[in-house]
Amino acid sequence: MGLNTASTVVEGMKGLTEVTLTVTVKAKAGESTYFAVEVQQSGLFRVQNIPEEHMPALLAVHCPTILFPYAREVVADLVGRGGFQPLHLHPVNFEALYQQAQTQQQNYTTQ
């Protein structure tokens, strides 16, 4: 399973930020691909009175945590409608992923 998040400030809408969570799932056996699903779930978040230094964590952890259950439901529905057993994705710890990315970035910049 692949996960990706992106955030953009919505022009003309002060305090609104759009966050998009992309979930990619592929089922393969050897060289054969049974199915591939990519779901993009977006949300508009009004962000007020949050210090600028907390924004990256908010956008990379808290917003995707809110969006993930909706994306997970769409993945299960699409796979089931394709004739396969519905695929129920496990919850994702976005905070751990964020911390891991921060550690990797720090290690990369110190080398």
Give the model confidence (pLDDT) of 34-82 as tens digits.
999 999 999 999 988 989 999 989 999 999 999 999 999 999 999 999 9
Angle between helices 63-81 and 94-110 (to 10 degrees): 110
State the average pLDDT for the chain.
88
Give the range of the structural domain holding residue 65, as residue numbers without chain letter: 2-110
Q: How many domains does the chain have?
A: 1
- Quick check: 63 and 43 in contact, CB under 8 A? yes
Nearest to 64 by CA among 23, 30, 29, 99: 23
The residue whose two tokens read 């919505």 is: 10
pTM of the model: 0.85
Burial class (CB within 10 angstroms; exposed 0-12, middle 13-18, buried 19+) of 29: exposed
**Sheet of strand 32-46, all strands in order from the earlier edge strand to the far edge:** 2-9, 16-29, 32-46
Question: Residue 60 sits in a domain of what CATH number?
Answer: 3.10.420.10
- pLDDT tier, 11 (very low <50, low <70, confident <90, very high otherwise): low
